[in-house]
Amino acid sequence: MHFIKLLRFKNLVLVALTQVFFQLAIINPFLIKNHIPLSLNSTNWILLILCTVLITAGGNIVNDIFDLEVDEHNNKEGSVVKKMGKPKVWIFYLVVVLLGGAIAAYVAESINNFKLFFIYPAAVTVLFFYSYKFKHIPLIGNIIVSLFTALVLFILLFAERQGLHTLRSVDPHGFQLLKSISIGFMVFAFLANLIREIVKDIQDLEGDRIVGSKTIASYYGKETSKLIGSYLAQFLLILILLWPFYMEALHFPFASKLYCCFLLAIPLLMIVRAIHLSRSSKEFGNISSALKAYMLVGILYLLFYSAL
């Protein structure tokens, strides 16, 4: 049970589902339609997803190790790291990181794309220093971990870069369309996660102040942080409302526009309102959970593209 809490299993499932839907609904249809072979066979695709999950798991573990003191103040159930023992958790972290590195090397060699491997140590290193140092720098840490969320999609595009290069030659319009969709969803993933990171900082404000951690909430204060989170959510809301008009040329089914309005725009408007009205740590914890569910709803929107 402690291992499950340490890994943050729900977050790992969200990462895996993001890559599954993005590959099946976006990348594969464009390449298969143009008779372009996929670089990743089924086995390598599953292993690459596992590798991404292990990067995320490693980041979660090392973050909890460095957050031991903060979690003692913010978590009423106590720190998982303290319950398991820090030496044991460090060993678990190294096993996860080394296993992921071995899988990354195997996949990169199998598809003759060894540059893909270097994403792994780069991501692991950045997430380590995020937990060790950058998360205590206002906004910088939030941006770093949110960029990693967008990287989850980029990894698949980089793995299939040979096919995408061919697509650009044989179907320039299709390539531009794939590029626009990919950028759109990466921006959504980045902004939605950035808002959630700011909300989490507000939730953990008291513990961060006690240990002297300079997060955006402890440095700028709760009210200013709420405004930043709210403005970012409103900016994302504008982009979501403009998205169907931008993609009008695709002749999307009407149901997709309803989905965008009722399951993406309206819930985000409710989240903006909740950010303004919330006061307690528990209320911001509820908003954080709602944003996690909201990101899953955003991922499911990918399924509308599979019919293009």
List per-residue pLDDT tens for the chain, 308 residues long: 566 777 888 899 999 999 999 999 999 999 999 999 999 999 999 999 999 999 999 999 999 888 877 666 666 566 777 778 888 989 999 999 999 999 999 999 999 999 999 999 999 999 999 999 998 899 999 999 999 999 999 999 999 999 999 999 999 988 998 998 999 999 999 999 999 999 999 998 888 887 788 899 999 999 999 999 999 999 999 999 988 877 766 666 677 788 888 999 999 999 999 999 999 999 999 999 999 999 999 999 988 776 55
> Letter for the amino acid at 102?
A
| Contact between residue 178 and residue 27 where contact means Cβ atoms under 8 Å apart | yes
DSSP for residue 138:
T
Alpha-carbon span 36 to 166, nearest angstrom: 7
How far from the centroid of its chain's Cα atoms is residue 302's Cα? 15
DSSP for residue 280:
S
Number of domains in the chain: 1
**pTM for the full predicted model:** 0.92
168 CB-side CA count, 13 A: 7
How far from the centroid of its chain's Cα atoms is residue 109's Cα? 26
| Contact between residue 44 and residue 110 where contact means Cβ atoms under 8 Å apart | yes
- Enumerate residues 6+ apart whose C-beta is below 8 A from 255: 304
> Letter for the amino acid at 41?
N
Torsional sign, CA 67, 290, 26, 47: positive
Domain residue limits at 294: 2-307
Alpha-carbon span 258 to 262, nearest angstrom: 6
